[in-house]
A and B are shown apart, each in its own frame.
Chain A
Amino acid sequence: MSTVAVRDLELDLEAFEGPFDLLLTLVLKDELPLADVEIAGVVLAFVERLAERSELELEVCGEFLVLVAALLELKARDVFAEDGELELDDLDAADAAAELAERLAAYRRVRAGAEWLERRLAAETDRYFRLGPAPLAPPPARALDPQDPLGLARAIRALAADPPAPSLSHLALRLPPVERFLERFRALLRRSGFVFDDEVDGLSRIEQAVAFLALLELRKAGEVRLSQQAPFEPIGVSAA
């Protein structure tokens, strides 16, 4: 293994796959967050390569140690920097050690918790139970104001009553045909003359209007002569 081989060390990590050299470049260019990189994985890959060699090459090991130490320091800075204000350079050795000890202790506790969970899971492999779908939905609460039963009965009775009969008044607007009055007036004229007002007396206003139109039609055709003493007086009709 030569010096070049350290840089070409092939890595297969969760966050990165490729030569060690490229990993360093990406990290230094801030294109790969160091928090994602498992340094232990890098060391493991190196140790595996080392194991393939019969001789221990101190120079190669030394270079690797320097590079990994640099990576670890960078990563430590990242970890500290996540607190925002805390910078590793600002701390003296004792404070840094205390902070690191705090972090390591917190992680160690979590690790111990994870180990306990792992043992527990292994002990519970014979645990089988039914898995249902989503939790049962509780019936929606119906918040109603207290009601007076008699009041409700009155409301229901009002709803149950027959609706008012629909108005048919608009149907009366249908116009009678003019021909009906033409034929009637011609029949009257064949016998003798007649007074228009007497003939339309008792008819609706619409029918009277249509009858008047018929009268005008007869006058236009020259079939009748009309006479009236004064405005609004009875209209006398006689054959022309």
Chain B
Amino acid sequence: MENDAGFGRFAVSVGERQLYLVDSPIDRLARTLEALLVIAPQPLSIAELASASEAEVERVETALALLAGRFREGRSGIVLEQVAGGYAFRAAREAATACARLVERPVQRGLSQAALETLAIAAYLGPVSRPEIARIRGVASDSAVAGLVDRGLLTEAGREAEGGAVRYRTTPLFERVFGLSGLDELPSLDDLAGDAPALRERLEAVAAGRSA
């Protein structure tokens, strides 16, 4: 049964009582978004969701908040998360063991130190070329880059203006694997490498001592 305002009412019998559940337009939009997120092979941005559902961005955000309440850890086996610049469903963490019996994670076998350093350079400084990565790491990083491209964690992102070396950046899959809503969620390197200035001072002190 629907009225002029677009609200539907569903009658539910509980014992001898009749309860009426109101189905609002936002509920209907939430169901549409739910369907879109189920069929999407990658995270969908709010703009993509708004375009596909032909709804306004504000209403999409409201409906997503509704879905986030429904699909959350402890309540559902499917969890809605904000990841890689969009929204996507993933399995609840409590089901991880069962999931592991069925499928392999994209980075199941772990990453070598070289691969992690290369990823960090691309994530923080990308897009970067292989020579740039090699200069920062002090060793050639060709195999690390090739391995990360094969795993779908790095992708080509144009060429350098000078020399034409291929540049690489991290992919949305990288953000999903590491559970990042975006690259801006990475912690500041200054916070992580707090001892860098101290190291610099020590080296400069040694140099000053030698040249004196």
Q: Do A and B bind each other?
A: yes
User: How big is chain B's contact interface, by range?
Assistant: 35 or more
User: Are A121 and B177 neighbours in the complex by a CB distance under 8 Å?
Assistant: yes
User: Are B192 and A127 neighbours in the complex by a CB distance under 8 Å?
Assistant: no
User: Are A107 and B111 neighbours in the complex by a CB distance under 8 Å?
Assistant: no
Q: How far does the alpha carbon of A109 sit from the alpha carbon of B199 in the complex, in Å?
A: 12
Interface stretch, picked from B1-9, B16-24, B56-64, B83-91, is: B83-91
User: Are B203 and A128 neighbours in the complex by a CB distance under 8 Å?
Assistant: no
User: Are A135 and B207 neighbours in the complex by a CB distance under 8 Å?
Assistant: no
Closest Cβ neighbor of B197 among chain A residues? A105
User: Are A128 and B90 neighbours in the complex by a CB distance under 8 Å?
Assistant: yes
User: Are A132 and B42 neighbours in the complex by a CB distance under 8 Å?
Assistant: yes
Given contacts A36-B139, A93-B210, A114-B119, is CB(A104)–CB(B204) below 8 Å? no
A100, A104, A128, A131 interface centre (most CB from chain B within 10 Å): A128
Q: Which residues of B contact A127 (CB under 8 A)?
A: 90, 93, 96, 105, 176-177, 179
Q: How far does the alpha carbon of A97 sit from the alpha carbon of B211 in the complex, in Å?
A: 11
Q: Does B117 contact A (CB under 8 A)?
A: yes
Q: Does B55 contact A (CB under 8 A)?
A: no
Given contacts A79-B138, A130-B89, is CB(A114)–CB(B120) below 8 Å? yes
Number of A-B contacts (CB under 8 A): 154
State the majority secondary structure of interface residues on B: helix
Q: Does A98 contact B (CB under 8 A)?
A: yes
Q: Does B123 contact A (CB under 8 A)?
A: yes
Q: Which residues of A contact B137 (CB under 8 A)?
A: 107, 110
Q: How far does the alpha carbon of A127 sit from the alpha carbon of B91 in the complex, in Å?
A: 7
Option from A14, A101, A113, A129 in Cβ contact (under 8 Å) with B189: A113
Option from B117, B173, B200 in Cβ contact (under 8 Å) with A101: B200
Q: Does B68 contact A (CB under 8 A)?
A: no
Q: Does A112 contact B (CB under 8 A)?
A: yes
User: Are B187 and A132 neighbours in the complex by a CB distance under 8 Å?
Assistant: no
Given contacts A121-B178, A124-B177, A128-B90, is CB(A98)–CB(B140) below 8 Å? no
B177-212 near A? 1/0 per residue, CB < 8 Å: 111000000110110110111011001101110110
Given contacts A35-B139, A98-B207, A135-B41, is CB(A128)–CB(B134) below 8 Å? no
Q: How far does the alpha carbon of A104 sit from the alpha carbon of B200 in the complex, in Å?
A: 8
Q: Which residues of B contact A132 (CB under 8 A)?
A: 40-42
Q: Does A38 contact B (CB under 8 A)?
A: yes
Q: Which residues of A contact B41 (CB under 8 A)?
A: 130-136
Q: How far does the alpha carbon of A183 sit from the alpha carbon of B136 in the complex, in Å?
A: 109
Q: How far in angstroms is the closest Cβ of chain A from B56? A: 20
B117-154 near A? 1/0 per residue, CB < 8 Å: 10111011000000100111111100100000000000
Closest Cβ neighbor of B44 among chain A residues? A136
Option from A14, A33, A94, A105 in Cβ contact (under 8 Å) with B208: A94
Option from B93, B100, B113, B173 in Cβ contact (under 8 Å) with A114: B113
A118-146 near B? 1/0 per residue, CB < 8 Å: 10110011111111111110000000000
Given contacts A94-B211, A113-B124, is CB(A100)–CB(B91) below 8 Å? no
Q: Which residues of A contact B66 (CB under 8 A)?
A: none
Closest Cβ neighbor of B180 among chain A residues? A120
Other contacts beyond A108-B195, A112-B193, A124-B178: 11, CB < 8 A: A97-B203, A97-B207, A105-B200, A111-B120, A116-B187, A117-B119, A127-B179, A128-B95, A131-B106, A132-B40, A136-B42
- Some 12 contacts from A to B, beta carbons below 8 A apart, are A37-B139, A79-B135, A101-B203, A108-B193, A109-B124, A109-B189, A111-B117, A113-B120, A117-B178, A121-B107, A125-B105, A130-B41
* 8 cross-chain pairs, A with B, having the tightest CB-CB distances, nearest first: A132-B41, A97-B207, A126-B96, A113-B120, A112-B192, A129-B90, A112-B193, A114-B116
